[in-house]
Structure 1
């Protein structure tokens, strides 16, 4: 794999000219065209799709309107509740509500099924589509029924990626979907486009997760594709089945790219024909001379079976490399865990080594990444005639949709799997976010799923429970299962892959999916459950602000799972205050109490009382502030909390990572950088200030107070640097905070206090 920061020209989709002093002359020599770089940038597939969906008239400042929206049952209640508070009357574009995260309805009494009934009645009332639990995971339904060539889809799940089908899809926090429901736009600067040039074809035993992990391992740490569009081109694309491309594409989220798109061909056309939607295919190719801002060359034949060790998809090795350096790599993982968990629990992976081989406790093939037809058929071929054994090792397989499950039953793959001792279950995302198949304490799980962050396997560090996940491809998981739990590369297995043809039968969808066909029925009463609560009132941005630092996190990256845990807490995602009780609970258990304590000061002034009486230390702090800023008073001051994290927001798109802080009185985040665009957008949409501070020793620490004079006026004036003061030892000590550019709408959202206030009628 070769990475080129300077970019490259691609001629007729085949010939690469790396950018440099002689590049344009070389292009002219080969094509006879005297084309400049800016013109060639407009010849990428991504540029063409973005242009068709941009409403601003300015391709530098995009205002995108999407063709379709999709959400699952962890996010759609909050999205619709937010839109309802802003006057929603009907869904203006197709909006699919899937139920694949809280499907089990096993936690919290009736509340999960109450969310589902809320979704069904909202689909009827506002004119949407409702997919019942166990029918399909969100992204597989989108592939089968929504995606189309040249289209754009916005989803409230970070793995919203349908580029292999010619659809530019973006995963964002819920407020961005609210904007689309209110017929507003998705506003971004024109992203850079990174060419991913594929050649060769994978060797036997290598699957899509292997290719994906190889890419993630190369580009995550250096931010090579961060907030950019990955465009897959080159002759190697046609050497991959569409199922294979989909498996690579969905994992591009883990690179922190904004979106992805692939050139399409007859295989993609056949995919749409199989699914009864031939009219949705569109052939997509870059122009005769296309320029990419950055470029990656990948020889697929050089990829080997991969494993991403705990606790990140970028912690990658080949399986051969791991087996050859077993104790050293396991020791490194244990040391990383000790840092990540602050020494609270001990991860003991080295005890998994038996006779020089790594023993695995569990295998999972599931969800939008692993549950595809081809993955499961290949796994069944590898396991055919074998047994997973009667020891600790277990294997669970989740087809990504009921149509896939039905075809696997018809072609015998399910029977092959069941007779080995594997369990085949219904479409469910639980193993991907910690709500299903939790291993035993200190167990090691290998999964063809999307993420292996801490707690994504369901363990609870705060309770002394720790297990861990490594990501692998379905083929190597099956090879390990055939070897009764000893880690094995699929490239080492002698197998005949039968590659059965896929036949899609949408009868189950016709029988069970509610489709309004875009017709709203205002007479329908929304069905609420006791746990479904409205958003609490949120204040506008004050003239001045006093923030207490209530958590200080120095991990290199802080995931949204650490900001608001996944798993069983997802049952409370329809209850803003109830869910907020879990904020940072697995990273900083003191956070909620500290945030609530300073929030008392804000609540006091909102009710006409004295902030200093509600929180006595505030009176002392205000006394120091008034020495330099005598005009500062309770009447023009806002009181709240902030956190510092080095690089927060990697991972899930869930808006609750920000909204939970907001409902607890959070006014800001301070970071060296934000891991993803979507987390920063979530902060803004919930009226929180996304501050940046230069790397180095912090001028403040946990429990310190920070004073921001004139913050409202500075936001109104579009300032990007702010003088702030640490209130310490009876003095105000100045330092500088920064903020990236905000759009006019983003500034107004922050000034109003949140997107709900901005849109409230």
Structure 2
């Protein structure tokens, strides 16, 4: 079904796979009639050509990228614009799409949700951007329809910014990277590895894009096979997939931890762009005659089965057949894994209760957002549910089309009527079910969803309060098959249905009538509209020569998601208020973090006022005395030593691109993260852009929660790029240990030393 190659590969004429081994030269010569240099073949990927076009440096090993456009939604755009304003932005130097699909149905906070939208419209008018009104389209649906094109690059402040199936290399990043583009700077990254994803065959009826995506995620996530790399989709199987099917696979590549994705383009992509009135954005894209890849994932589409990703990660994959045959063992395993994730004596995980005899029954089905809410998916849901019923028991179902144009076409062709007649609810374009702000199940209910993630809390529950529900990811077709069986888990390949496959007609007039398009038409005289919840960033200190850190949170989970660092859902209403949002930091993972971080932050605030933080604090006096014995020449210079909190996690930052995972820590006075590794490049970038030191500790940490850590000469160490930095645990005994910061660009070093991106630009 899915096979990974252990070595690099050459792809000859787009079809022949030649693995790099001892006889590779001979094989290539037989196929091509010539010698092939690896360095030349690396330049023959689609990825290389797109990156070369957007690179502003003369060195393709160290890229400095400028994007064609950017996009943000209403959880992230206020902070980005505020950061860019504080950094000197005068207008949007590239098309910037502001969508409203996240912070639109959150009841918490009263009027402050809509205040953010009014701010965004005024910003689009003032600086020259595009404003998509609330619920008119989810961020990625709109960008596919209106912005993505062959050979383009798009930067988005949402981790699922993926438009590779349309020939666009798209990157999801934290807000700081978007702010850099807004002030005319570049996105800097070392040239990434490129992994080919070779598709062959054709999926069976009833097998959908989520089934293919979950098969790939399950195969590559655990060993980091594509981590921070580009997934380049090639092979003859592509032609057997409609474009929306490709989009559904592509958007899920984020869950592999890859950096971006790109696909070969063909006449189907040309037709898609023509339907959307953008034929000029098409060009054929494919690798050269001989292209070299750092690895290859072979996917036999013929053999893909309906899949399910059980709680609590998209990589926790099984075929539905396998789950049904081994339900007791698999559900027991998931229960045990779940209990290891949560530190709550109140919590009871009971997935085994979903079994009734040989069958598994679920409580809810959701088809929504950028992955599930496509025209093709919903059309096939309608075909399956036509003339059927979801029943009047506990099972419920909701369908969220991804955009208003898709919704209207589904109304016109009768698909919506079929779904509603079966008893399902049809809602507006909204990303809520993806992040815990819509259709939250009851305690211990199991929801099957064609959405992007099933991390803990992403469905809206609060395990720390003893309340939990479960999300399993499935394809829309199998969700519909389950629905017409009133919640009995059913693969779409196990039912008889005739799929209608109607032609899609895109009506752009909906956007023409409602979307504000100010590209190239900035109106500087426009006043920004600030609601009472929209606050400026607080002042943040520069990095001092020496620092004293207290470890206020120590997380032992194998991976810590962004949602655990800063919860989604009910916090959405406070995304524009840095101080208030910070109160939620780590609230579901370490409820003591905020109060402990504030205690240390008060000591730093005393120092910044010119007061001695040791006054009235006997414990700190003892710590300082021990430090003075390490550095006898410091003396009273210790009074200028910065004091901050720190967080340790084994592998933090999987999931969302939201910069608030880092900025909230900074607001509370956290100056460093310690990790064995960082789960994603984007989280590490977020830390750097907020002036938080991204320390790496490869060995078992010699410190624990509550310990103080002293790091002398850190400012100089950052600027000089010292590979190993001396640090000390200040406890009953002083224990030296080493930390590193990994590779940092010159600009990243200067941002950390300045204290944050805003300070860096202000200093310039």
TM over 0.5: yes
Q: How high is the TM-score relative to the length of structure 2?
A: 0.99
Residue 105 and residue 647 in structure 1: after superposition, are their counterparts in 2 closer, same or farther (change >3 A)?
closer
Question: Secondary structure of 1:55's match?
Answer: coil
How many residues are aligned here? Answer: 759
1:15 Cα deviation from its structure 2 partner: 0.9
Query: Secondary structure of the residue that 2:614 maps to in structure 1?
Result: helix
Structure 2 counterparts to residues 323-402 of structure 1, below 5 A:
323-344=324-345, 345-402=347-404
Aligned mates of 1:334, 1:481 — CA distance in 2: 24
Q: Does 1:198 align with 2:199?
A: yes
Choose the corresponding residue for 2:724, options 715, 718, 721: 721
Residue 590 of structure 2: aligned partner? 588
How far apart, CA to CA, are the structure 2 residues paired with 1:288 and 1:337? 48
Partner of 1:108: 109
Deviation at 1:616, TM superposition (A): 4.0
Separation of aligned partners in 2, 1:595 and 1:720: 28
For the Cα contact (< 8 Å) 2:10–2:293, is it kept in 1?
yes
Q: 1:319 to 1:40 in 2, by over 3 A?
A: same
Is 1:572 the equivalent of 2:574? yes
Local SS of the residue matching 1:612: coil
Cα displacement (A) at 1:636: 3.0
- The aligned residue for residue 465 of structure 1 is 467
Indicate yes or no: 2:668 matched with 1:675.
Answer: no
Aligned to 2:754: 752
Task: State whether structure 2 residue 265 is matched by structure 1 residue 232.
Answer: no
Please identify, of 460-469 and 703-712, the stretch whose mean Cα deviation from structure 2 is larger: 460-469
The whole-number CA distance in structure 1 between the counterparts of 2:287 and 2:407 is 36
**Structure 2 matches for 1:392-541, cutoff 5 A?**
392-541=394-543
In the TM superposition, residue 462 of structure 1 has moved relative to its aligned partner by: 2.5
Q: Which runs of 4+ in 1 moved over 4 A?
A: none
Match of residue 143 from structure 2: 142
Deviation at 1:615, TM superposition (A): 4.5
Q: Secondary structure at the match of 1:397?
A: strand
Which deviates further from its counterpart, 620-629 or 400-409? 620-629
| Structure 1 portions without partners, runs of 5+ | none
User: Is there any run of 5+ residues in structure 2 with no aligned partner, and where?
Assistant: none
Match of 1:656 in 2: 660
Question: Partners of 1:353 and 1:391 in 2: how far apart?
Answer: 16
Distance in 2 of aligned mates of 1:404 and 1:746: 42
**Matched residues in 2 for 1:651 and 1:153: separation?**
19
Distance 2:124 2:580 in 1: 25
Bigger CA drift: 229-238 or 106-115?
106-115
Residue in structure 2 matched with residue 544 of structure 1 by the alignment: 546
Q: 1:84 aligns to what SS in structure 2?
A: helix
* Alignment partner of 1:559 is 2:553: no
The DSSP-based 3-state class of the residue aligned with 2:615 is: helix
Q: Pairwise mapping of residues 171-320 of structure 1 onto structure 2 (< 5 A)?
A: 171-320=172-321
Aligned partners of 1:247 and 1:165: how far apart in 2? 12
CA distance in 2: counterparts of 1:706 and 1:146, whole angstroms = 48
For 1:4-25, what per-residue CA distance to the aligned partner results, in whole angstroms no more than 9, with x for missing partners?
Answer: 1311111111111111111122
Counterpart in the other structure of 2:713: 710
CA distance in structure 2 between the aligned counterparts of 1:720 and 1:611, rounded to whole angstroms: 31
**What is the deviation of 1:634?**
3.7
Contact 2:106–2:570, Cα closer than 8 Å, also in 1: no
Contact persistence 2:751–2:757 (CA under 8 A):
yes
Partners of 2:106 and 2:437 within 8 A in 1: no
Shift of the 695–218 alpha-carbon distance from structure 1 to 2, 3 Å rule, reads farther
Per-residue CA deviations over 1:657-686 (Å, capped at 9, x if unaligned) read 001100100111000000000000000000
1:637 aligns with 2:641: yes
- Cα displacement (A) at 1:282: 1.3
CA distance, structure 2, for counterparts of residue 558 and residue 617 of structure 1: 31
Residue pair 2:729, 2:736 contacting (<8 A) in 1 also:
yes
Say if 2:694 is the partner of 1:690: yes
2:529 and 2:257 mapped to 1: Cα distance?
A: 37
1:411: how far off?
0.5
1:181-233 deviation line (CA, Å, top 9, x unaligned): 01100000000100001100101110000000000000000000000000000
Inter-partner Cα distance in structure 2 for 1:599 and 1:106:
32
SS of the equivalent of 1:198 reads strand
C-alpha distance in 1, partners of 2:349/2:574? 29
**Aligned positions of 1:79-94 closer than 5 A:** 79-94=80-95
Distance in structure 1 (CA, Å) of the matches to 2:352 and 2:331:
6
Determine if contact 2:434/2:459 at 8 Å carries over to the other structure: yes
CA contact (8 A) 2:8 2:295 kept: yes
